[in-house]
Amino acid sequence: MLRPFPDCLKKFWRAAEEFLFAPSSDVWLSILRVVLGVQIILYCLSLRRDWNEVFASTPQGFLSRDLMEGILNVHSHFVPRLGWLISIGGYLGLSEQRVLGLCWITLLIAGGALLVGLFCRAAAVLAWLLYLAAVKSGSLLTYGVDNMTTIGLFYLALAPLPDRFSIDHKLRAQRTQDRHRLGFFRRVLQLHLCVVYFFGGLLKCLGPGWWNGNSMWRALTRPPFDILPMDFILSARAWLPAIGITVWILELGYPIFIWPRRTRAIWLTSILLMHIGIGLALGLYLFASIMIGLNLAAFGPGLILDRQEIQDAT
């Protein structure tokens, strides 16, 4: 009477293994690498004039780095931070400003290396650690784009690099990549996005602000995101509740409708258009670009990008 139970477990394990290790090409990895390379470069360029002031430990900065790293210590003593590198530089006779400048240049070079696919593994790990250190040392100045970029860099640092479109792949001897290993890392990224969107949509639908349009109004009129003319927002105020409801429906339904092939194209296109709208309406261009890049890497190949190659791989 107990024999069917182990058989059910075997079937469940086999189904889970087939789902998690479904074969995939490395096109998604190429997309992720290029997107994150561009993201790091734009991040560095956006802070090129204010980098030292943002992360300075002196009161002349926007916020003291010592204050932000002190707050970080309350949560963990082991999270990377720029203060560690500055302390090492101090032992070597380097000033704080010099170390901060070297960190900026190194992060920019790592982003460029990711973009072209040179020293992919080292560039991915270095970019992840430096970006994480910068984000945590300026935690009071960060928002969603930094979290999602850190997540993307983490997956890239662990993924089976190099991909076939990188310079590293062309310089090395040809070797066959493990498609099942590629599929596993892509699947984890897909599941991670499903969790992010589901709980984001759940939180929105539980409050009244996304039903009556108040959350949309506050988002569009609060500085420094109030880039749309007030007259335009007032003329479209009747549409704000419908837009807010559409946003949380798209997010809440993401883990349901992104998987079936019949609905994936519609849902992925809608999500991409949503992030394009967020980027244009609020000026959150870096946030829009990282979310678009992560979605294209996770669910684009096999649907709107490189379909035939993915079909051959599976």
101, two tokens: 């400048």
Better pLDDT: 139 or 184: 184
Closest CA to 205 of 238, 242, 244: 244
Angle between helices 82-91 and 65-75 (to 10 degrees): 120
Better pLDDT: 59 or 111: 111
pTM over 0.85, yes/no = yes
- Name residue 301's beta-bridge partners: 305
User: For residue range 75-122, what is the model confidence (pLDDT) as tens digits?
Assistant: 777 888 888 898 899 899 998 889 999 999 999 999 999 999 999 999
Q: How far is residue 113's CA from residue 127's CA, in Å, rounded to a whole number?
A: 10
pLDDT score recorded for residue 50: 84
Lowest mean pLDDT among 46-55, 118-127, 226-235, 250-259: 46-55
Q: How far is residue 72's CA from residue 81's CA, in Å, rounded to a whole number?
A: 9
At residue 240 the predicted structure's pLDDT band, cuts being 50, 70 and 90, is: very high
- Name residue 305's beta-bridge partners: 301
At residue 43 the predicted structure's pLDDT band, cuts being 50, 70 and 90, is: very high
At residue 310 the predicted structure's pLDDT band, cuts being 50, 70 and 90, is: very low
Q: How far is residue 137's CA from residue 150's CA, in Å, rounded to a whole number?
A: 14
Instruction: Give the pLDDT mean for 291-312.
Output: 74
Q: How far is residue 3's CA from residue 37's CA, in Å, rounded to a whole number?
A: 53
CA distances from 65 to 33, 48, 57, 83, 94 (A): 30, 17, 5, 8, 18
pLDDT score recorded for residue 105: 96
At residue 290 the predicted structure's pLDDT band, cuts being 50, 70 and 90, is: very high
191, two tokens: 């599941």
Instruction: Give the pLDDT mean for 175-196.
Output: 91
To the nearest whole percent, how much of the chain has pLDDT over 70?
91
At residue 61 the predicted structure's pLDDT band, cuts being 50, 70 and 90, is: low
- Of the CA atoms within 13 Å of residue 134, those in its CB half-sphere come to 29
Q: How far is residue 8's CA from residue 145's CA, in Å, rounded to a whole number?
A: 42
Given a cut of 60, whether residue 59 has pLDDT beyond it is: no
At residue 3 the predicted structure's pLDDT band, cuts being 50, 70 and 90, is: low
User: For residue range 131-140, what is the model confidence (pLDDT) as tens digits?
Assistant: 999 998 887 7
**Cis check: omega of the bond before 162, within 30 degrees of 0:** yes
293, two tokens: 């890049």
Residues 6+ away with beta carbon under 8 Å from 85: 99, 103, 133
Better pLDDT: 174 or 296: 296
CA distances from 101 to 13, 54, 95 (A): 51, 12, 10
**Residue in the structure block whose two tokens are 């339904």:** 253
Residues 6+ away with beta carbon under 8 Å from 141: 54, 62, 63
Residue pair 224/283 in contact (Cβ under 8 Å)? The answer is yes
At residue 71 the predicted structure's pLDDT band, cuts being 50, 70 and 90, is: confident
Q: How far is residue 263's CA from residue 44's CA, in Å, rounded to a whole number?
A: 37
Instruction: Give the pLDDT mean for 189-203.
Output: 96
Q: How far is residue 104's CA from residue 135's CA, in Å, rounded to a whole number?
A: 13
Given a cut of 50, whether residue 149 has pLDDT beyond it is: yes
Q: How far is residue 275's CA from residue 273's CA, in Å, rounded to a whole number?
A: 5
Distance of CA 302 to the CA centre of its chain: 21
User: For residue range 242-264, what is the model confidence (pLDDT) as tens digits?
Assistant: 999 999 999 999 999 999 988 99
